[in-house]
Structure 1
Amino acid sequence: MRFYVSGGPENTQRVAEINEALAHNGHIITAPSVMAGTGYDALLEAAYKKVFSVTDADFVLLLLPGSYETHVELGLALASRNNKRIVLWSETGNEYADGAAACAFYHHTAVERRSGSFEELLEMLLTL
């Protein structure tokens, strides 16, 4: 399975752990979700790589809370969802609450919303 994992800055270590665990189980990382370098050229290259990486993945996992980039990645995953599994994960589930601050795309029928401990998430991922 080809996979893409991303999350906000506070989840950088968790993203790395998931990438390592899935790759160890024989899955293919479409691209690391971290950007190398700074400046216009680095941003341009990162943008192209991230678009390709998200659209090329069979499985997209986004760890919440995310950043504005996480929401763009969710949009890309939804727009290219042919046979793609899209999972959002939150430790608390607070991000899924209804109300003025709710993100409508978290509630799209193509999106699986999960919450729980990081250990539970890893256990679920190891069954893929």
Structure 2
Amino acid sequence: MNFYTASSFRNIEDVQFINDRLIKQGHHLTYDWTQSERVDMPAALQRIGQLELDAVQASDCLILVLPAGKGSHVELGIALANRIPVFLCMLDSTSWTGSEASTFYHIGDVRPCFGQTEDWVRTILDAMAERTVR
């Protein structure tokens, strides 16, 4: 299954952990933004933006690790518009129903994943296995 993991640079270790675990299980990461550096030049922003757009559109699911910034939420919007299932990863339900919640977390095929990184991976892998059986 193809996947893309969206988040902010502050969550880079969690994203790399998720990516590594899913790849070891035979899944394909469509783009690894964690290998990039922060950029601010228009040409570099455009190139990376296009790579990320293409990666989300080529994915069978999007994994969004919270807290995340505006770019990750744009990627969430792309996934929702393309009816791509989303795994919303967070430590607790504050981002699901609390003051950090977004209306967009509650539409489409969005599944919350609560707990630590290992819990998220287990939930995602179980759901991926379930989807491939269908």
Task: State TM-score, norm by structure 2.
Answer: 0.83
Which amino acid in the other structure matches residue 53 of structure 1? A
Query: 3-state SS of the aligned residue for 2:17?
Result: helix
Alignment of 1:15-94 (within 5 A): 15-34=15-34, 35-36=36-37, 38=39, 39-81=41-83, 84-94=84-94
Moved more, 84-93 or 67-76: 84-93
Runs of 5+ consecutive residues of structure 1 not aligned to the other structure: none
Name whichever structure is richer in helix by fraction: 2
Runs of 5+ consecutive residues of structure 2 not aligned to the other structure: 129-134
User: Alpha carbons of 1:86 and 1:31: their partners in 2 closer, same or farther (altered >3 Å)?
Assistant: same
Write out per-residue CA displacement over residues 78-116 of structure 1, whole angstroms, 9 at most, x where no aligned residue.
0111xx3211011122111255x5311011142112211
State the Cα RMSD in Å: 1.7
Residue 57 (structure 1) shift:
0.1
The count of corresponding residues between Structure 1 and Structure 2 is 125
Structure 1: which 4+ aligned runs deviate by more than 2 Å?
33-38, 122-128
Identity %: 29
